[in-house]
Amino acid sequence: MTVRHLPATASPDDVAAVLAADGCAVIDRLAAPDLLDRLDGEMDQYVARTAYGTDDFAGPRTRRTGGLIARSASSRELVLDPLVLGTVDQVLSHVNNYQLHLTQLIRIEPGGPAQVIHRDQWAFDFFTFPSGYQVQCNTIWAATDFTEANGATRVVPGSHLAEDKLRFELADTEPAEMERGSALLYVGSLYHGGGPNSTDTDRVGVNITYSVGWLRQEENQFLTVPPDVARSLPERLQRLLGYSLGAYALGYVDDLRDPLDVLMGRDTGNASFAASAEELAANAGVSTIG
Protein backbone atom coordinates (compact mmCIF):
# COMPACT_ATOMS: atom_id res chain seq x y z
CA MET A 1 0.00 0.00 0.00
CA THR A 2 1.42 3.41 -0.91
CA VAL A 3 0.88 6.65 0.96
CA ARG A 4 -2.10 8.48 -0.44
CA HIS A 5 -1.70 12.12 -1.42
CA LEU A 6 -4.48 14.71 -1.21
CA PRO A 7 -4.50 18.26 -2.55
CA ALA A 8 -4.46 21.25 -0.19
CA THR A 9 -8.06 21.89 -1.29
CA ALA A 10 -9.22 18.60 0.30
CA SER A 11 -11.75 18.84 3.11
CA PRO A 12 -11.17 17.62 6.67
CA ASP A 13 -13.70 14.86 5.88
CA ASP A 14 -11.55 13.68 2.96
CA VAL A 15 -8.38 13.64 5.06
CA ALA A 16 -10.06 11.99 8.06
CA ALA A 17 -11.44 9.26 5.78
CA VAL A 18 -7.94 8.43 4.49
CA LEU A 19 -6.54 8.50 8.03
CA ALA A 20 -9.27 6.12 9.20
CA ALA A 21 -8.41 3.68 6.40
CA ASP A 22 -4.61 4.02 6.11
CA GLY A 23 -3.48 5.77 9.30
CA CYS A 24 -1.56 8.34 7.21
CA ALA A 25 -1.95 10.78 4.33
CA VAL A 26 0.14 13.46 2.65
CA ILE A 27 -1.40 16.85 1.92
CA ASP A 28 0.54 18.32 -0.98
CA ARG A 29 1.89 21.89 -0.74
CA LEU A 30 -0.29 22.92 2.19
CA ALA A 31 2.09 25.61 3.48
CA ALA A 32 3.34 28.48 1.35
CA PRO A 33 7.11 28.47 0.67
CA ASP A 34 7.51 31.93 2.22
CA LEU A 35 6.07 30.69 5.53
CA LEU A 36 8.73 27.97 5.59
CA ASP A 37 11.43 30.52 4.69
CA ARG A 38 10.34 32.62 7.67
CA LEU A 39 10.28 29.58 9.94
CA ASP A 40 13.79 28.59 8.82
CA GLY A 41 15.03 32.10 9.57
CA GLU A 42 13.39 32.20 13.00
CA MET A 43 14.74 28.78 13.99
CA ASP A 44 18.27 28.91 12.53
CA GLN A 45 20.02 30.23 15.63
CA TYR A 46 18.34 27.60 17.83
CA VAL A 47 19.06 24.74 15.44
CA ALA A 48 22.72 25.76 15.29
CA ARG A 49 22.97 25.37 19.08
CA THR A 50 21.05 22.07 19.24
CA ALA A 51 23.10 18.97 20.03
CA TYR A 52 22.72 15.68 18.17
CA GLY A 53 20.57 12.95 19.70
CA THR A 54 22.24 10.84 22.34
CA ASP A 55 20.50 7.55 21.60
CA ASP A 56 19.33 5.56 18.58
CA PHE A 57 15.79 6.91 18.79
CA ALA A 58 16.83 10.57 18.84
CA GLY A 59 19.50 9.90 16.18
CA PRO A 60 23.28 10.47 16.21
CA ARG A 61 23.12 12.84 13.18
CA THR A 62 19.73 14.35 14.02
CA ARG A 63 19.08 17.66 15.74
CA ARG A 64 15.69 18.04 17.43
CA THR A 65 14.91 21.64 18.21
CA GLY A 66 11.73 22.31 20.16
CA GLY A 67 9.89 25.24 21.69
CA LEU A 68 8.51 26.35 18.35
CA ILE A 69 5.57 28.34 19.71
CA ALA A 70 7.86 30.62 21.68
CA ARG A 71 10.69 30.76 19.14
CA SER A 72 8.91 30.98 15.81
CA ALA A 73 5.82 33.09 15.13
CA SER A 74 5.45 31.32 11.77
CA SER A 75 5.18 27.91 13.41
CA ARG A 76 1.94 29.10 15.01
CA GLU A 77 0.37 29.25 11.56
CA LEU A 78 1.26 25.61 11.01
CA VAL A 79 -0.14 24.63 14.42
CA LEU A 80 -3.41 26.46 13.65
CA ASP A 81 -3.68 25.37 10.02
CA PRO A 82 -7.45 25.05 9.39
CA LEU A 83 -7.25 21.81 7.38
CA VAL A 84 -5.05 20.18 10.01
CA LEU A 85 -7.23 21.30 12.94
CA GLY A 86 -10.39 20.34 11.06
CA THR A 87 -8.91 16.89 10.58
CA VAL A 88 -7.77 16.59 14.20
CA ASP A 89 -11.29 17.62 15.29
CA GLN A 90 -12.56 14.53 13.51
CA VAL A 91 -9.82 12.06 14.36
CA LEU A 92 -10.07 12.96 18.06
CA SER A 93 -13.83 13.66 18.06
CA HIS A 94 -14.37 11.05 20.80
CA VAL A 95 -12.80 13.37 23.39
CA ASN A 96 -14.01 16.69 24.60
CA ASN A 97 -10.66 18.39 24.49
CA TYR A 98 -7.33 17.89 22.76
CA GLN A 99 -4.04 19.73 23.08
CA LEU A 100 -0.69 20.42 21.53
CA HIS A 101 1.61 17.55 22.41
CA LEU A 102 4.97 18.60 21.01
CA THR A 103 6.58 20.94 18.48
CA GLN A 104 9.92 19.89 17.08
CA LEU A 105 12.07 20.78 14.10
CA ILE A 106 13.81 17.54 13.10
CA ARG A 107 16.95 17.95 11.01
CA ILE A 108 18.45 14.68 9.78
CA GLU A 109 21.93 15.46 8.53
CA PRO A 110 23.93 13.55 5.89
CA GLY A 111 24.81 10.06 7.07
CA GLY A 112 21.97 9.95 9.61
CA PRO A 113 20.79 6.34 10.03
CA ALA A 114 17.17 5.18 9.97
CA GLN A 115 15.23 5.68 13.17
CA VAL A 116 13.66 2.64 14.79
CA ILE A 117 10.12 2.04 13.51
CA HIS A 118 7.69 2.95 16.30
CA ARG A 119 4.28 4.23 17.26
CA ASP A 120 4.31 7.80 18.65
CA GLN A 121 1.78 6.73 21.28
CA TRP A 122 4.45 4.51 22.85
CA ALA A 123 5.49 7.79 24.50
CA PHE A 124 2.72 7.04 26.99
CA ASP A 125 4.85 4.46 28.77
CA PHE A 126 4.04 1.83 26.12
CA PHE A 127 0.45 1.57 27.31
CA THR A 128 -1.59 -0.46 24.82
CA PHE A 129 -4.64 1.59 23.87
CA PRO A 130 -7.64 -0.26 22.39
CA SER A 131 -7.14 -0.94 18.69
CA GLY A 132 -8.70 1.86 16.64
CA TYR A 133 -8.90 4.24 19.61
CA GLN A 134 -6.74 7.18 18.60
CA VAL A 135 -5.03 9.29 21.24
CA GLN A 136 -2.98 11.36 18.80
CA CYS A 137 -3.26 12.98 15.41
CA ASN A 138 0.17 14.13 14.22
CA THR A 139 1.87 16.08 11.47
CA ILE A 140 5.32 16.28 9.93
CA TRP A 141 5.62 19.31 7.67
CA ALA A 142 8.29 19.09 4.99
CA ALA A 143 10.60 22.10 5.40
CA THR A 144 12.82 20.59 2.67
CA ASP A 145 11.66 18.17 0.02
CA PHE A 146 11.32 14.69 1.51
CA THR A 147 12.84 12.01 -0.72
CA GLU A 148 13.66 8.39 -0.10
CA ALA A 149 17.36 9.29 -0.37
CA ASN A 150 17.36 12.17 2.12
CA GLY A 151 15.43 10.40 4.86
CA ALA A 152 11.73 10.92 4.15
CA THR A 153 9.68 9.54 7.04
CA ARG A 154 9.15 5.79 6.58
CA VAL A 155 5.59 4.60 7.14
CA VAL A 156 3.62 1.36 7.18
CA PRO A 157 0.21 2.37 5.78
CA GLY A 158 -2.60 0.44 7.46
CA SER A 159 -0.45 -0.46 10.47
CA HIS A 160 -2.51 1.75 12.78
CA LEU A 161 -4.84 -1.22 13.14
CA ALA A 162 -2.05 -3.78 13.63
CA GLU A 163 -1.12 -5.32 16.96
CA ASP A 164 0.80 -3.26 19.44
CA LYS A 165 4.52 -3.64 20.17
CA LEU A 166 5.49 -5.07 16.78
CA ARG A 167 8.97 -4.69 15.32
CA PHE A 168 9.05 -3.62 11.67
CA GLU A 169 12.19 -3.53 9.52
CA LEU A 170 12.97 -0.80 7.02
CA ALA A 171 12.01 -3.17 4.19
CA ASP A 172 8.44 -3.33 5.57
CA THR A 173 8.08 0.44 5.24
CA GLU A 174 7.83 2.96 2.46
CA PRO A 175 9.03 6.54 2.25
CA ALA A 176 6.46 9.33 2.54
CA GLU A 177 8.02 11.38 -0.23
CA MET A 178 6.66 14.91 -0.52
CA GLU A 179 7.53 18.37 -1.68
CA ARG A 180 8.57 21.19 0.62
CA GLY A 181 5.44 22.69 2.23
CA SER A 182 3.54 19.39 2.18
CA ALA A 183 2.44 17.72 5.39
CA LEU A 184 2.33 14.08 6.40
CA LEU A 185 -0.62 13.49 8.74
CA TYR A 186 -0.64 10.28 10.75
CA VAL A 187 -2.33 8.88 13.80
CA GLY A 188 -0.41 8.00 16.97
CA SER A 189 -0.86 4.29 16.31
CA LEU A 190 0.81 4.33 12.86
CA TYR A 191 4.14 2.51 12.70
CA HIS A 192 6.73 4.86 11.20
CA GLY A 193 10.21 6.35 11.72
CA GLY A 194 12.66 8.84 10.25
CA GLY A 195 14.50 7.50 7.19
CA PRO A 196 18.27 7.28 6.61
CA ASN A 197 19.85 10.28 4.89
CA SER A 198 22.32 9.16 2.22
CA THR A 199 22.51 12.56 0.49
CA ASP A 200 24.85 15.45 1.22
CA THR A 201 22.10 17.84 2.31
CA ASP A 202 19.89 18.04 5.40
CA ARG A 203 16.34 16.74 5.58
CA VAL A 204 14.21 19.07 7.71
CA GLY A 205 10.75 18.26 9.01
CA VAL A 206 8.53 20.07 11.49
CA ASN A 207 6.84 17.62 13.78
CA ILE A 208 3.69 19.11 15.37
CA THR A 209 1.55 16.66 17.26
CA TYR A 210 -1.81 16.79 19.06
CA SER A 211 -3.05 14.50 21.80
CA VAL A 212 -6.21 13.93 23.79
CA GLY A 213 -6.57 16.30 26.72
CA TRP A 214 -6.43 13.61 29.38
CA LEU A 215 -2.88 12.52 28.60
CA ARG A 216 0.25 14.35 29.66
CA GLN A 217 1.88 16.56 27.02
CA GLU A 218 5.31 15.40 25.91
CA GLU A 219 6.70 18.95 25.55
CA ASN A 220 5.89 20.93 28.66
CA GLN A 221 4.18 23.93 27.10
CA PHE A 222 3.74 25.81 30.40
CA LEU A 223 7.50 26.03 30.91
CA THR A 224 8.50 26.11 27.24
CA VAL A 225 6.33 29.10 26.37
CA PRO A 226 6.90 31.96 28.84
CA PRO A 227 3.59 33.29 30.27
CA ASP A 228 4.18 36.72 28.68
CA VAL A 229 4.37 35.10 25.27
CA ALA A 230 1.39 32.84 26.03
CA ARG A 231 -0.70 35.90 26.96
CA SER A 232 -0.05 37.43 23.52
CA LEU A 233 -1.30 34.43 21.53
CA PRO A 234 -4.73 33.88 19.97
CA GLU A 235 -7.16 32.11 22.29
CA ARG A 236 -7.31 28.95 20.16
CA LEU A 237 -3.57 28.56 20.53
CA GLN A 238 -3.65 29.34 24.24
CA ARG A 239 -6.24 26.60 24.65
CA LEU A 240 -4.10 24.18 22.63
CA LEU A 241 -1.09 24.94 24.81
CA GLY A 242 -3.07 23.65 27.77
CA TYR A 243 -4.75 26.75 29.14
CA SER A 244 -8.10 25.01 29.04
CA LEU A 245 -10.08 22.47 30.96
CA GLY A 246 -9.87 18.93 29.67
CA ALA A 247 -12.92 16.68 30.09
CA TYR A 248 -14.88 18.13 33.03
CA ALA A 249 -12.27 19.82 35.15
CA LEU A 250 -8.81 18.50 34.26
CA GLY A 251 -6.29 21.28 34.72
CA TYR A 252 -8.29 23.64 36.93
CA VAL A 253 -6.55 26.18 39.16
CA ASP A 254 -7.28 26.43 42.91
CA ASP A 255 -11.03 27.12 43.35
CA LEU A 256 -11.99 25.45 40.08
CA ARG A 257 -10.76 28.41 38.03
CA ASP A 258 -10.23 28.14 34.28
CA PRO A 259 -6.45 28.25 33.60
CA LEU A 260 -6.93 30.75 30.77
CA ASP A 261 -8.63 33.21 33.13
CA VAL A 262 -5.71 32.81 35.51
CA LEU A 263 -3.13 33.31 32.74
CA MET A 264 -4.91 36.47 31.57
CA GLY A 265 -5.41 37.81 35.11
CA ARG A 266 -9.20 37.76 34.80
CA ASP A 267 -11.01 37.49 38.09
CA THR A 268 -14.07 35.49 37.16
CA GLY A 269 -14.49 33.43 40.29
CA ASN A 270 -15.16 29.77 39.70
CA ALA A 271 -15.01 28.44 36.18
CA SER A 272 -18.30 27.97 34.46
CA PHE A 273 -17.76 24.61 32.86
CA ALA A 274 -18.77 24.14 29.24
CA ALA A 275 -21.03 21.30 30.27
CA SER A 276 -22.30 20.11 33.62
CA ALA A 277 -20.92 16.94 35.12
CA GLU A 278 -24.36 15.40 34.63
CA GLU A 279 -24.45 16.21 30.92
CA LEU A 280 -20.93 14.86 30.40
CA ALA A 281 -21.76 11.67 32.26
CA ALA A 282 -24.90 11.19 30.16
CA ASN A 283 -22.91 11.77 26.93
CA ALA A 284 -20.37 9.23 28.09
CA GLY A 285 -23.12 6.67 28.59
CA VAL A 286 -23.05 6.59 32.40
CA SER A 287 -26.40 5.10 33.42
CA THR A 288 -28.31 4.46 36.60
CA ILE A 289 -28.41 0.95 38.03
CA GLY A 290 -31.87 -0.46 38.75
Ligand X SMILES: O=C(O)CCC(=O)C(=O)O
Between the two ends of the chain, the Cα-to-Cα distance in Å is 50
Pick from 10, 78, 84, 106: which binds ligand X (CB under 6 A)?
A: 106
CB of 200 to ligand X, least distance (A): 18
Site membership for ligand X, residue 140 (CB under 6 A): yes
Contact 137, 95 (CB under 8 A): no
140's contact among Fe ion, ligand X, none, with CB below 5 to 8 A by partner kind, is ligand X
Sheet strands side by side (includes 203-212): 5-6, 24-27, 183-187, 136-142, 203-212, 98-108, 62-66
65's contact among ligand X, Fe ion, none, with CB below 5 to 8 A by partner kind, is none
| Beta-strand relationship, 62-66 and 24-27 | unpaired
Site membership for ligand X, residue 120 (CB under 6 A): yes
CB of 193 to ligand X, least distance (A): 5
Specify the stretch interacting with ligand X by CB under 6 A; choose among 8-16, 83-91, 188-196, 224-232: 188-196
Task: For Fe ion, give the closer residue by CB, 120 or 258.
Answer: 120
CB of 95 to ligand X, least distance (A): 22
**Which helix (H) or strand (E) covers residue 280, if one does?**
helix 277-283
CB of 94 to ligand X, least distance (A): 23
CB of 87 to Fe ion, least distance (A): 18
Number of residue whose CB is nearest Fe ion: 120
Site membership for ligand X, residue 112 (CB under 6 A): no
Task: For Fe ion, give the closer residue by CB, 96 or 189.
Answer: 189
Compute CA distances 219 → 123, 187, 207, 215, whole Å: 11, 18, 12, 12
> CA 182 to CA 179: how far, in whole Å?
6
Pick from 193, 213, 246, 259: which binds ligand X (CB under 6 A)?
A: 193
Site membership for ligand X, residue 142 (CB under 6 A): no
Single out the residue of 5, 16, 63 nearest to residue 184, CA to CA.
5
Burial degree of 149 (CB within 10 A; 0-12, 13-18, 19+): middle
CB of 59 to ligand X, least distance (A): 8
Site membership for ligand X, residue 190 (CB under 6 A): no
Helices (H), 165-258: 221-224, 227-231, 235-241
For residue 284, the one-letter residue type is A
> CA 164 to CA 11: how far, in whole Å?
30
196's contact among Fe ion, ligand X, none, with CB below 5 to 8 A by partner kind, is none
* Contacts to Fe ion by CB under 5 A: 120
202's contact among ligand X, Fe ion, none, with CB below 5 to 8 A by partner kind, is none
∠ CA(124), CA(17), CA(209), 5° rounding? 30
> CA 36 to CA 77: how far, in whole Å?
10
Site membership for ligand X, residue 3 (CB under 6 A): no
Specify the stretch interacting with ligand X by CB under 6 A; choose among 41-49, 68-76, 88-96, 191-199: 191-199
What residue ranges bind ligand X (CB under 6 A)?
106, 115, 120, 140, 153, 192-194, 205, 207
